[in-house]
Amino acid sequence: MKPSAAQLCLRPYDEGDLQSVVSLFYDTIHSVNLKDYTPEQADAWAPKKPDLSRWQGLLKGEDTWVAVQDGRIVGFANRDGEYFDCLYVHKDYQRRGVAKALAERIEGRAAAEGHAKIRTNASLTARPFFEQRGYAVVRRQCVHRAGHVLVNFAMERSIQK
């Protein structure tokens, strides 16, 4: 039976969450995303030594939410206006509705601010999730990171009420 997401709680990001969020980002990319990207691409995307001050600025500066279950952070998402920036779920909590809950929160807040659409740059791994939520691919993109090329997709959907 699929584990229940009933105990899942969403709350705004707090500065003290930085280490957990950055570790989750690293661990997810170096496990879940390896089905679509090489280890070298994963290193370029999520280097072992992250720039913590850049991360803190990004997470504090945007509309950032964390998902908590079993007393730990199991996912996070953030948004800058109509741009849905990050969406990462802990490797041990995949396919339990964590991303769905975070996306509903992010999209709902964008709609409440009056945005007519929401857009994102989805990884190869996340594309099916966003397609299932009604996002359409606008274009395929090649992102250059630390000497590597990573493919992702500009996607968007209407969120007009």
User: Which residues in this chain contact ligand COA in the complex, by CB under 6 A?
Assistant: 28, 32-33, 87-89, 94-100, 121-123, 125-126, 128-129, 132
CB of 40 to ligand COA, least distance (A): 17
Q: Which CB atom, from 54 or from 114, has the smaller least distance to ligand COA?
A: 54
Handedness of CA 118, 124, 125, 129 (dihedral sign): positive
CB of 73 to ligand COA, least distance (A): 13
Burial of 52 (0-12, 13-18, 19+ CB in 10 A): exposed
Q: Which CB atom, from 97 or from 159, has the smaller least distance to ligand COA?
A: 97
Q: Which CB atom, from 100 or from 105, has the smaller least distance to ligand COA?
A: 100
CB of 20 to ligand COA, least distance (A): 15
Cβ contacts of 83 within 8 Å, gap of 6 or more:
118, 119, 120
Rounded Cα gap, residues 27 and 30, in angstroms? 5
CB of 130 to ligand COA, least distance (A): 8
Q: Give the residue nearest to ligand COA (CB).
A: 99
Q: At what angle do helices 52-61 and 18-29 cross, to 10 degrees?
A: 110
Rounded Cα gap, residues 132 and 91, in angstroms? 20
Q: Which CB atom, from 105 or from 109, has the smaller least distance to ligand COA?
A: 105
